Amino acid sequence: MGNIIVGQSGGPTAVINASLAGVFKGGKDNNIKVYGMINGIQGLLEERFVELNKEIKTDLDIELLKRTPSAYLGSCRFKLPNIGENDEMYEKIFSILEKIDVDKFFYIGGNDSMDTIKKLHTYAKDKDKNVQFIGVPKTIDNDLAVTDHTPGFGSACKFIATTIKEIIKDATVYDAKNITIIEIMGRNAGWLTASAAITKSEDCNGVDLIYLPEVHFDIEDFVRRVKKLQKNKKSLVIAVSEGIKNKNGTNICEIEEENTILDSFGHKSLSGTAVTLAKILQRNLGCKTRAIELNTTQRCASHCMSEVDINESFLAGVYAINLAMKGESGKVVVFERTSNAPYKMDMKAHDVYDIANFEKKVPINWIDTENATVKKELIDYIKPLIQGEVYPIMVDGLPKHLRLEREKY
Amino acid sequence: MGNIIVGQSGGPTAVINASLAGVFKGGKDNNIKVYGMINGIQGLLEERFVELNKEIKTDLDIELLKRTPSAYLGSCRFKLPNIGENDEMYEKIFSILEKIDVDKFFYIGGNDSMDTIKKLHTYAKDKDKNVQFIGVPKTIDNDLAVTDHTPGFGSACKFIATTIKEIIKDATVYDAKNITIIEIMGRNAGWLTASAAITKSEDCNGVDLIYLPEVHFDIEDFVRRVKKLQKNKKSLVIAVSEGIKNKNGTNICEIEEENTILDSFGHKSLSGTAVTLAKILQRNLGCKTRAIELNTTQRCASHCMSEVDINESFLAGVYAINLAMKGESGKVVVFERTSNAPYKMDMKAHDVYDIANFEKKVPINWIDTENATVKKELIDYIKPLIQGEVYPIMVDGLPKHLRLEREKY
């Protein structure tokens, strides 16, 4: 039997390393050598990889890895060419894998990363290459098709809801009119922003309005609603997705030019939705407004992880190994929820062709457009995923993380 | 013996309620009724107060209160007129206190709030009023004179350093040049920003540059330094205080007009320092830049508290009661550090006249201007204050907070 290689791809999460730990543990328990690609498929093409057995030496290292945010192996945003367009690149990948005797390839990522699994699996089948390809889902955005939810989503929700509960406490402290607008990640899917709704509980009135990108955002209606709410409540807290758009499809953050920062790839940076709305409210209502962007902390706050999420992420890695041991390829680990209360979840293997490149948005019938909030179904869907805590291992007052030997110098 | 009243004032912190819990517990243990002012002295003037014994009913409530962020009683930014300018207002306060038989007045706050203690104590002495006034320090900014440090500072540092460690992990995940600029609270004092330095440890290279408001910020020098650092390191993380200024005293966030938001009081909002610097670097160096504003979460992240800080905050409240029981007035509880390793701290009473309205900045000889970072002395000063963890009491996956009965409806 050959060796294993595993890579991480796309935006990091607080628990993507728990899935890596699962793949590693699964391989180790089967006495198979596990390689790790540095910076995903992009690094592999440059023959950058490490022997994980030499890096993750003890059981404590595995626990540390599970609690280390962001991609331990580094990540990439690299799309393979279509099959037929550049066979040289594919041949290069397979020759590198052959050189280190790898016949099982695992990739932890979102829908773009599953495209890599799909293409490599297809190429291997077409050319009779003896390598199996398995995808392990990961994304805080929860926008992967087929699976009930994705590893990383629950912890991001827990961090967002925890922080918003605290911000609500902070925002209500003065006896003066004020509006806080909290911007949450999500360009096309509002799953993360919906987690603002779970703050409403015995000890918290929750947020006042929630806007997801699945529904067109109407500025005039927004100002009207805020004005009306202000009549009965001094302090308002509003949650918005970074990607909300008006009915013409223009991002709200782009309607006022100065907020747009172009990144080096020429992409417009979407930061600034909350700032834009704060300016609009200030102009129209004249009261104190505050824009809060939760930013990258949403995807790397491993000091506030969900136990359910970290356990599922780890087990998804182990399950992927089991699939490969059974001879599967071209499959992605997916979650199937069999019960909500009590929460019960099964893991399954699903064909990568149904998953790669698709995007799952929040169902419109889970959104309450009339009251600019989300429905009970959506709250019931999220709540089980944030349950339980796994705390970091603390050293000298700060969370301890695991890192590659080469990064120490 | 008369009753006690306690109020909270100024910006909230993650542990200001631990001091409130200390005052309440101290009063309760002495069998004294404890009133709480709603929205500080501003609310008291409108006769808005509660009987805390009816709100905080059990020992568990006290523990919950300690773990509840922001000011449980609400806060205010209200400065009393100078003595002699409006005696009516002073007489009103004393008549309200008399009505509820209060002879001990505690105020938890920063240097502006200590001005309230100073004035009320002075008035009481001048007019032979039988009320004692004690100040309990609180501010994440750590800018209070005389005391070694302030309750609230340690937890804010712990949250900032924890988050920056995570952001560094996130920022280094791609194999591409990028710069992350993290904006930290502090208009005139750089204490909080200095906490970015404690991230440097066995498992983390730390931040690359640190800029405090105590030193003039030179944009050209900044761009030059970043360019030089980029030669050896792809991913840079830089920490800046929101209040950094150029040599003319202009806030960096104001040098590019469009970032300035006026609040309803006509104050310019200082948010935007990181965004301004990110734009400047992008123009000059052309690489991917990201601006992260840690924002209000710095002062309300009670899910990431320092055990040392929360214990000291609680004990400062108890100590304030003891001072009053001994007949003191016009005093503030201050901390005196007697040893750094092991960390040892004594509490003392200090004259409010030396503390009110003064601002303590970072000593220039603790700042390493040559390398745009901070010196070991400053790191050694901060580290003991972030030690240990007190976790929230979790219910249904989220931190449970205590709130006033009246806020429940």
A393 and A270 both lie in a single domain: no
Closest chain A residue to B161 measured between Cα atoms?
A398
The answer to whether A63 touches A56, Cβ cutoff 8 Å, is no
Predicted local confidence at residue A263, as pLDDT: 44
The ipTM value here is 0.95
What's the pLDDT tens digit per position in B242-290?
A: 999 999 999 998 886 544 444 444 445 545 899 999 989 998 999 899 9
Q: For residues A12 and A196, what is the distance between their CA atoms, to the nearest angstrom?
A: 21
Task: Tell me, yes or no, whether B51 lies in a domain.
Answer: yes
B291 and B191 both lie in a single domain: yes
Helix or strand run (H / E) with residue A351: strand A343-351
Closest chain A residue to B296 measured between Cα atoms?
A167
Per-residue DSSP letter, B364 = G
Q: For residues B152 and B161, what is the distance between their CA atoms, to the nearest angstrom?
A: 14
pLDDT-above-70 percentage for chain B: 96
- CB contacts of B278 in chain A (<8 Å) are 261
Predicted local confidence at residue B271, as pLDDT: 55
| Contact across the interface for B303 and A71, Cβ inside 8 Å | no
Predicted local confidence at residue B266, as pLDDT: 47
A311 and A394 both lie in a single domain: yes
Distance from CA of B129 to the nearest CA of A (A): 29
Name the residue among B190, B46, B27, B256 with its Cα closest to residue A175: B46
Q: Which domain holds residue A246?
A: 155-300
CATH of residue B107's domain is 3.40.50.450
Domain boundary among A251, A277, A300: A300
Distance from CA of B286 to the nearest CA of A (A): 6
Predicted local confidence at residue B267, as pLDDT: 46
| Contact across the interface for B398 and A391, Cβ inside 8 Å | no
Please say if the pLDDT value at position B224 is more than 70: yes
Predicted local confidence at residue B272, as pLDDT: 85
The answer to whether A6 touches A134, Cβ cutoff 8 Å, is no
Domain boundary among A252, A268, A300: A300
| Contact across the interface for B158 and A301, Cβ inside 8 Å | no
B247 and B277 both lie in a single domain: yes
| Contact across the interface for A398 and B290, Cβ inside 8 Å | no
Which of A12, A290, A396 lies nearest to residue B173, judging by beta carbons? A12
Name the residue among A239, A277, A276, A270 with its Cα closest to residue A157: A239
Distance from CA of B132 to the nearest CA of A (A): 26
What's the pLDDT tens digit per position in B328-368?
A: 999 999 999 999 999 999 999 999 999 998 999 999 999 99
| Contact across the interface for B12 and A403, Cβ inside 8 Å | no
pLDDT, averaged across chain B: 94
B269 and B315 both lie in a single domain: no
B181 and B200 both lie in a single domain: yes
B190 and B92 both lie in a single domain: no
Domain boundary among B256, B278, B300: B300
CB-based contacts of A98-103 (< 8 A; 24+ apart in sequence): A100/A3, A100/A5, A100/A35, A100/A49, A101/A2, A101/A3, A102/A2, A102/A3, A102/A4, A102/A5, A102/A35, A102/A131, A103/A1, A103/A2, A103/A3, A103/A130, A103/A131, A103/A132
Task: Tell me, yes or no, whether B47 lies in a domain.
Answer: yes
Low-confidence ranges of chain A (pLDDT < 50): 258-267, 270
A286 and A306 both lie in a single domain: no
Task: Tell me, yes or no, whether B117 lies in a domain.
Answer: yes
Which residues of A are the active-site residues? 141
Task: Tell me, yes or no, whether A380 lies in a domain.
Answer: no
A265 and A129 both lie in a single domain: no
| Contact across the interface for B162 and A396, Cβ inside 8 Å | no
Q: How many residues does chain A have?
A: 409
Task: Tell me, yes or no, whether A148 lies in a domain.
Answer: yes
Structurally, how many domains does chain B consist of?
A: 2
B62 and B131 both lie in a single domain: yes
Closest chain A residue to B304 measured between Cα atoms?
A303
Task: Tell me, yes or no, whether B374 lies in a domain.
Answer: no
| Mean pLDDT, residues B180-200 taken together | 97
Distance from CA of A269 to the nearest CA of B (A): 9
Task: Tell me, yes or no, whether A189 lies in a domain.
Answer: yes
The answer to whether B191 touches B359, Cβ cutoff 8 Å, is no
Which of A204, A261, A278 lies nearest to residue B278, judging by beta carbons? A261
Task: Tell me, yes or no, whether B57 lies in a domain.
Answer: yes
Predicted local confidence at residue B44, as pLDDT: 98
- CB contacts of A278 in chain B (<8 Å) are 261
| Mean pLDDT, residues B72-91 taken together | 96
B143 and B159 both lie in a single domain: no
Which of B76, B205, B278 lies nearest to residue A175, judging by beta carbons? B76
| Contact across the interface for B203 and A403, Cβ inside 8 Å | yes
CATH of residue B178's domain is 3.40.50.460
B118 and B183 both lie in a single domain: no
Q: For residues B17 and B64, what is the distance between their CA atoms, to the nearest angstrom?
A: 9
